[in-house]
Amino acid sequence: MTTRRDALKVLGGLAASATLPRLGLAALPGSERRLVFVFLRGGLDGLSAVPAYGDPDFVAKRGELAIAPPGTAGGALKLDDFFGLSPYLGEMHKLYEARELAVLHAVASPYRERSHFDGQNLLENGTLKPFGRDAGWLSVALAEAAGASGVALGPSIPLLLRGPASVTSWSPSALPTPDLDLLERLAQLYRDDPLLAKPLAAARHAQGMMEGNDARAMGGGAQSVAALAKAAGTFLAKPDGPRVATIDFGGWDSHANQIGEYSPLTRNLRLLDRAVMTLKSSLGPVWKHTAVLIVTEFGRTVAINGSRGTDHGTAGVAFVAGGVVPGGRVIADWPGLSDRTLHEGRDLRPTLDLRALLKAALVAQLGLTEAPLETKVFPESRGVPPLEGLFA
Amino acid sequence: MRREAIIAVNRFGLGAAPGELAAAASDPRGWLAAQILKPVPDHPAFAELAASSETLKEYPRWIASLRMARGDASATMRADGQPTVRGIEQNFRDFFGPGMLKEVGARLAAGASTPAPFHERLALFWANHFTVSAEKPVIFAVVGSFEREAIRPYVGGTFVDMLVASSKHPAMILYLDNNLSVKPGFTGPPNAGANAPRLTGLNENLAREILELHTLGVNGGYTQADVTTFARVLTGWTVGGPANPGFAFISRRHDAGPKTILGKTYTQDGMAQGEAVLRDLAAHPATATHIATKLARHFIADQPPPAAIERIARAFRESGGHLPTVYAALLDSPEAWDAPLAKLKSPVEYIVSCLRALPAAREAKPQALFFTLREMGQRPFFAPSPQGWPDTSAAWAGADGLWKRIEWAGTLAARAGSRIDPLELARESYGDAVSEATRLAISRAESRQQGLALWLASPEFQRR
């Protein structure tokens, strides 16, 4: 049986905060900094994305779901001597090797129940309660960063970006663009409308920025993650564009048959892999100022369930990528997979609060200070300081 | 009275068809109540749609055609309908897609022309409450029949009957994986061929969502242990093979014996145990409050008035979930009649209200409407999760969604040409609720087409 301390040893000193380079917080919150939030809705199975092949209980607990160690057929891509990366995340692995992607494991939001919808809502509203407020932490954070705006890629704006900030949204369309005169008249007509005036102005601005971009015509319509990633890059690469983009990516609720070349989980991992690369190339030189956060509402059960899937769990995995990320490391205070260490006997135990990562991103990319972060953005979060050294 | 008619037709209905506002004007509440008391005949388009038992029988035929086409004897579907060979999913959509587009077309045609739009709104409300979604490929073929078989027949019945029908429908069982949930330690043979997954234990998906979404609500007082135990109760609830493609209870998969849920011990044998739990869940006061809150949010306001919730919940509790009694309590809520235009229409409500207002637009191809709705963020039958579509104005008020509605309004108006008098149309749908600013904007438009686009995109017409 491995203790937590042993696991730390296995990791060779672990890239936990003690050994991270002290890069300092809020070093350069310049306005060229950009932030992309990719929300994997449905609960990504963290141990499929980032298998802890070095954990002595990994194979026994995961059964058929246990991804083979690096170096074996169909095995994981090596991250270190303890963790691997899903073989379907090959592009992300290249980023890891280029030290532009870091992995955080055993991470969870403060939510400890197992409802997707409450879990997503809490993660988005930034409070300690589902439906704790009608605004998202990212919108509140943007409002604190003077003059910064956001864009939601997709036909609707997630709670995360609803609230006080100036936000637009965009997704591909096959309908003819309305003529300018009609738009002017509607702008007049909506002038005093509390619900429609701002969205119309924001939509017109977004349409202007996307003029002539071929993401407009990419297949798959509003649901295509690659098209949305490309568009996100286009928006953020504009010098006067939004500084924050969100991409909603659903379908991660892998209750059954999550293994194999053609399972929905495999397909989604491949789409994610491609979307990250599409985003990087679309950002162009702005990639070096960008942080991409890839987050889900909760992890899944450690053990395989009765139908070769996993049920709703607690801690899981998160990724950070981009030019501002000193990557090539796994950040985890690994709790172990033995029965004794599992949360409620079934889930990976959280050892890192997701808000520490989110706060670090807001400090580095939007220049926020701790005062608004621990009161307004994430109320009652003083005990969860920004994770140091996560971003350069 | 005039205002009540506007509210009846727009808030509780699907927007005025020609002459409808006038028809509702003399007794708006009676006009609504009559739609519940008198059963509505199905739209004729429904007669052409396949039952779930037929589509489920199509599976083997589809697999055979796939093998023929590919010369690939290994091509098959697993028990959960997930493809095992690359491209099967696309092939599956090609095969079953026309049937699903027919479902979309029939549903939109029914909405566009029904003389009982309140009844139709309730059907859509319940279909969203009991969401099954074609986001999961196997559901693609049965998502429409689910609504016609498990929801629509019960809209004027009791909640418990709809709950049982939904929980036993193959679409719900497949969507929430209960066909894959077996008693812990199960070792029997799978019943779906060599490539079927080996089933070894519980899958708690359906049990959890029945508790969280369909009955008690997330704060309804159940625990993880209740979820797990309920999953054990529901083991054996599955879908039969091609010879018997409906609900099936397979006792050798069932975890027999007494079980305790929410403090009550159930000693029934077999399927009766699950039915008993469902009956108790339907009668639980938390369920009454959960349903009442959702109805009030849907029909009255994003922040539903507590008094209305309690009135509707009481009707639910006291009538044993008799839905017409519940709807009557909703209609008796003064809060519902306070002010028109309280909520933004969802994309489906918006498109259907356009089709009702402009009968000529009903000629639009289902495929075109399907794509338009997808771009507006509400692809029919593809809800993003078991929670269904969001039901607040804020969720539909984003920049991109608004942009798509304006694009659609412009397109529709251009097609309508100059036949329609937009001011007349506005008066026929929203009467006195048309603001002076909107009236003025329409009357100053450069053409009837532009006036029509302004009306369809106006703040009033986007609300209900």
The domain locations on chain A are: 43-172+208-377
So what's the pLDDT on residue B197? Answer: 55
Indicate the residue of A179, A189, A221 with minimum beta-carbon distance to B458.
A189
Mutating which of A40, A161, A185 best tests the B interface, going by the most B Cβ atoms within 10 A? A185
**DSSP β-bridge partners for residue A151:** A168, A245
Using alpha carbons, select from B253, B77, B78 the residue that is nearest to residue B178.
B253
Q: Inter-chain contact A195–B344, Cβ cutoff 8 Å?
A: yes
User: Between residues 65 and 124 of chain B, which touch chain A (CB distance below 8 Å)?
Assistant: 78, 80, 82-86, 88
In a domain, B305, yes or no: no
Q: Looking at CA atoms only, how far is residue B379 from chain A in angstroms?
A: 10
Inter-residue contact A280 to A294 (CB < 8 Å): no
pLDDT range class, residue B368, cuts 50, 70, 90: very high
Is there a single domain that holds both residue B206 and residue B127? Answer: yes
More confident residue, B37 or B150: B150
Statement: residue A259 has pLDDT above 70 = yes
| Least confident range of A254-263, A327-336, B186-195 | B186-195
Beta-carbon contacts of B389 under 8 Å, excluding residues fewer than 6 positions away, are B128, B131, B346, B378, B383
Statement: residue A72 has pLDDT above 80 = yes
Q: Inter-chain contact B197–A307, Cβ cutoff 8 Å?
A: yes
Three-state SS string across A176-223, please? CCCCHHHHHHHHHHCCCCCCCHHHHHHHHHHHHHHCCCHHHHCCCHHH
pLDDT tens per residue across span B283-310: 999 999 999 999 999 999 999 999 999 9
ipTM of the complex as predicted: 0.91
pLDDT tens per residue across span B251-289: 999 999 999 999 999 999 999 999 999 999 999 999 999
Beta-carbon contacts of A65 under 8 Å, excluding residues fewer than 6 positions away, are A45, A47, A48, A258, A259, A304, A308, A310
Q: Looking at CA atoms only, how far is residue B431 from chain A in angstroms?
A: 18
User: Which residues in chain B are contacts of A170 at CB distance < 8 A?
Assistant: 399-400
Q: Inter-chain contact B199–A306, Cβ cutoff 8 Å?
A: yes
So what's the pLDDT on residue A359? Answer: 98
Statement: residue A4 has pLDDT above 70 = no
User: Which residues in chain A are contacts of B175 at CB distance < 8 A?
Assistant: none
Is there a single domain that holds both residue B254 and residue B367? Answer: no
Q: Which domain-ending residue is among B239, B260, B283?
A: B283
pLDDT tens per residue across span A273-293: 999 999 999 999 999 999 999
So what's the pLDDT on residue A28? Answer: 41
State the pTM of this model. Answer: 0.86
Domain that holds residue B69: 44-283
Q: Inter-chain contact B399–A200, Cβ cutoff 8 Å?
A: yes
In a domain, B143, yes or no: yes
Return the percentage of chain A with pLDDT > 90, whole number.
78
Statement: residue B175 has pLDDT above 70 = yes
CB pairs under 8 A between A and B: 207
* pLDDT, average across residues B384-389: 93
By the CB < 8 Å criterion, does B372 face chain A?
A: yes
In a domain, B179, yes or no: yes
Return the percentage of chain B with pLDDT > 90, whole number.
77
In a domain, B298, yes or no: no
Provide the domain count of chain B: 2
Is there a single domain that holds both residue B154 and residue B238? Answer: yes
In a domain, B462, yes or no: no
By the CB < 8 Å criterion, does A23 face chain B?
A: no
Statement: residue A40 has pLDDT above 70 = yes
Statement: residue B312 has pLDDT above 80 = yes
**DSSP β-bridge partners for residue A317:** A105
Statement: residue B30 has pLDDT above 50 = yes
So what's the pLDDT on residue A223? Answer: 57
More confident residue, B87 or B350: B350
* pLDDT, average across residues A147-169: 93
So what's the pLDDT on residue B340? Answer: 80
Is there a single domain that holds both residue B141 and residue B54? Answer: yes
User: Which residues in chain A are contacts of B85 at CB distance < 8 A?
Assistant: 262
By the CB < 8 Å criterion, does B195 face chain A?
A: no
**Is domain A43-172+208-377 given the CATH code 1.10.3470 in the classification?**
no
Using alpha carbons, select from B402, B345, B355, B414 the residue that is nearest to residue B376.
B402
In a domain, B177, yes or no: yes
Helices A197-210, A180-189: inter-axial angle, 10-degree rounding: 150
Q: Inter-chain contact A221–B344, Cβ cutoff 8 Å?
A: no
pLDDT tens per residue across span A299-326: 999 999 988 899 999 999 999 999 999 9
Inter-residue contact A124 to A116 (CB < 8 Å): no
So what's the pLDDT on residue B315? Answer: 98
Q: Where are the beta strands (DSSP E) in B179-297?
A: 237-239, 247-249, 259-261, 264-266
Mean pLDDT, all residues of chain B: 91
Q: Looking at CA atoms only, how far is residue B102 from chain A in angstroms?
A: 21
* pLDDT, average across residues B388-406: 95
d(CA B148, CA B131): 13
Inter-residue contact A36 to A290 (CB < 8 Å): yes
Statement: residue B88 has pLDDT above 70 = no
So what's the pLDDT on residue B192? Answer: 47
Q: Which domain-ending residue is among B283, B313, B330?
A: B283
